[in-house]
Structures are given as C-alpha cells and as structure tokens.
Amino acid sequence: MSGSSSSYRDRIYIVKDIILKLVEYGELNQTALVSFCGLNLKKHKPILDDLEANGLISRAERMVGKRIVAIYAPTQRGIEFSKNILEPYEKMFPRRKEGEDDKPASMLAMLVLI
C-alpha cells in the first residue's frame, strides 16, 4: 500500500455516501458535500459529474454575495437507485472496517513457514 494513512474506498461506496448525505441534508454546497463525504474535490469531481449526468443528483448554481456556489441535491432517481441497488449491494458485500484485512491468511502463511 502507499504511505497514506487513509483507507481505500470503492467507487460504489463513494457514490452511496454522496447520495445518502444529500438525502440526509436535502441539499449541500459542493464544499460541504465533499467534506462530509471525506472526499478530495480534485480527485472525486468526476464522480459528482457522472452522478449528475446519470440523473442521480442535481446541481444548481446560486449567487452568494459575489460568488457562484454549486448546490447539489438528490433526485428521486438517485434515491431509488440507492435503495434498490446500493443498499442490497452493501448488504451482500459489506465494507471492511479499518484495520480489517487478510490477517488470518497472512498468519496462516507464517505458520506454514515455521
């Protein structure tokens, strides 16, 4: 693994996290959404763009003072996608907890060497 202390998260779980946060809050600006989901905007912006292109989330722009702020919200299609596809997927293939890796297999390999 790389020297990073953060754990890898599959794209499907990132998608689920984005949709669930939007459902939880109703709508979020881009900065809040990325922060709440633990994402990096530069790295994960294409995922947001894909979700919008597929109609799973919507993006609107609002003027806040002199700035234009991107606001994301879940769509009905995104909510249904999460319930019908992502939730059953996570039940079948639960996320690994931090520190939960293939330790039993590596321990077995060590025993074989001894």
Q: Where are the domains of the chain?
A: 11-113
Residues pairing with 73 in the sheet:
58
CA 1 to chain centre: 20
- Prediction pTM value: 0.75
Percent of the chain with pLDDT over 70: 78
Q: Tokens standing for 110?
A: 């060590």
Kindly report, residue by residue over 23-43, the tens digit of the pLDDT. Answer: 999 999 999 999 999 999 999
The CATH number of the domain covering residues in 11-113: 1.10.10.10
* Residue that the structure tokens 């779980």 belong to: 13
Q: What pLDDT does residue 9 have?
A: 84
Q: What is the DSSP letter of 39?
A: -
Residue 73 CA, distance from chain mean position? 15
How far is 48 from 18, CA to CA, in rounded Å? 8
Mean pLDDT of 90-113: 63
Report the pLDDT averaged over residues 39-59: 96
